[in-house]
Structures are given as C-alpha cells and as structure tokens.
Structure 1
Amino acid sequence: PMFGPTFASLNDLSSQSAIIIAESSHLGKVFFRDLYHHLKLNVFEYSFREHDETIAYSLSIPFASTLVFASVMKHQDAPGTTFKKHMQIAQGLLSEDDFLLTEILFNPYTPGQLTNIREKLKELLAIIETKDSERMKAFLTGVRQNIQ
C-alpha cells in the first residue's frame, strides 16, 4: 500500500493507492489485486524499477522536504496556518517507524530527486538574494504549471 496510518483514513481508502509488482507470482498478484479491490484502493502494477522510481518521486521528495523543514525548527510558537500544517505533516512523518523512513530514503533513485531539489533551492535562493522580481515571477509561473 502507498499510505501509512498517519495520513490515511482507514474508514475510506478510496483515495489511497497500492502497487502490485509485475514480477510477483501470478497467484500473489491475483490475491492482492482482489484484496485491494475490496478495500477500494487504486491499484497500479509496476516493475521493480518503476516501483522504485515512483517511490523516489512520490515519497522521497516530500519526506526529504519535510525532514529538512523540521530540522531547522526551534521551540518557538509561530502564527500562520501554512506553518501549522507543515508542522502537522512533520509530526506525522516523524511518528512513522525509522526503518520505514530509512528504507524509503535509501531508495536508489532518491539521490537524483534530491539533486533536483537542491538545484531548485539554489535557483530560488539566488532569486531571493538578488531580489529579482522578474525571475521570481517566472519561477512561480513554472511552479504553478508543474502542479496543474
């Protein structure tokens, strides 16, 4: 399954996903496809490689971003709903098992994803340091296009 108990509502899993590995045994795939169908999960079938690439994208990026966010926090109250939501996500993530977090982050495709984050952070920092409004506008436009 592609969800942990921290963020998923176990009463309604219809918005959650599960991956079945294509190279798995036929009977195993049939069993899990049937189980996941009864749980109303969205089922994807990927090869081992596709699984690792997907996990690096869908879990390693948000996990690493959240860990970096939480690593610079200090014991101080801060107003704002965005900050509080990020804190809730960080607290939820850090309530997960260390082994699970480690396995996800040690995925062979995670370093490439983190390199992309580092490059974008470097670009954003340069825009902020130079107070370049035009580049900021272009950066924000690009980010908005990425999430449409």
Structure 2
Amino acid sequence: MIKRILCYYMIFMISCLVHELGHIIMAKIFCDIKNYRIELGIGKSIIDFKKFAIKSIPIAGHGYWELEDLERYNKSNKLRRIMPTLGGPLFSLVMTVLLIILYKENSEPNKFVNHMMIYSIVANASFFVATILPIKYLNCSSDGMRIFNILKSTEKM
C-alpha cells in the first residue's frame, strides 16, 4: 500500500515537472528567459534549490521567471507570449502520446508495472485537459484561459 502511494506521488510529481518544464523550455526558446524557478506542490519545502523546489502537498506546480524576463515577455508579440503558456499543456500531451505508444509496444506481464503505466498516462492526460481548457479559477487562470486572453487582446500577432 505504501509502495503504491509513493509511486502515485512520484508519477504525479514527474508529470507536473514535465508540464512545468514545457513552460520554461518554451519561455527560453521564445522569450529568452534567463532566471527561472520551478516549484512542484504547495506547502512546506521538502527539497529546495535555487531553480527547483518540491513542496509537501502534491496538488499543483508553478514555473515562473524573474521580473526582467517577465518584462521582456510582456513586451513580446502574441505568438511569443502564447508559446510559453502553451508549452506546459503541449509537453503533457506529447508525454501522454509517448506513454501510450510505450505501453502498447511493451505490454508488461507485471500487473503493478502495467497499473503504474496506466496511471502515468492518465496523470499526463489529466494535466493536459485540466490546463488547456479555458477556465478561471478562484485566484488564477488555466493555461487555456491565458492563451484565450492573449488571443482576444487587440494587438496584432
């Protein structure tokens, strides 16, 4: 039971990391950001480095960059602002597809491994769906809502 819970936790955190890395990698490519940080989860830090932290409660993740990079991002055209936002859902979708291919190609007789593969697929697919839909939450917006807001702004692409 404990082994399974730890595996779920690790899969969730890895899926979250893939999603947040998608944002950061696209921001580096399209907005030339230099200083960034990824935080996985909320609450008290379990692991804390300059550019990376794992928090105690695995609910969400956040990738962000420093103010000087943020100012450059805000002055960018629509496409350059959309790509970092789209990066998270895009990486989650790509990971889902790769895991499905891997699962179909390498059907494992071990039930536990199969179960963890399916959970990995579901976790990444869930990250994609939950973040690409344009939803306004209590104190933040989904990636899809941010993309929608960028697209409906009056400036040109």
Q: TM-score, normalised by structure 2?
A: 0.30
Comparing both structures, which one devotes a greater share of its residues to strand?
A: 2
**Higher RCO (CA < 8 A, seq sep 6+):** 2
Which of structures 1 and 2 has the bigger CA Rg?
1
Q: TM-score, normalised by structure 1?
A: 0.32
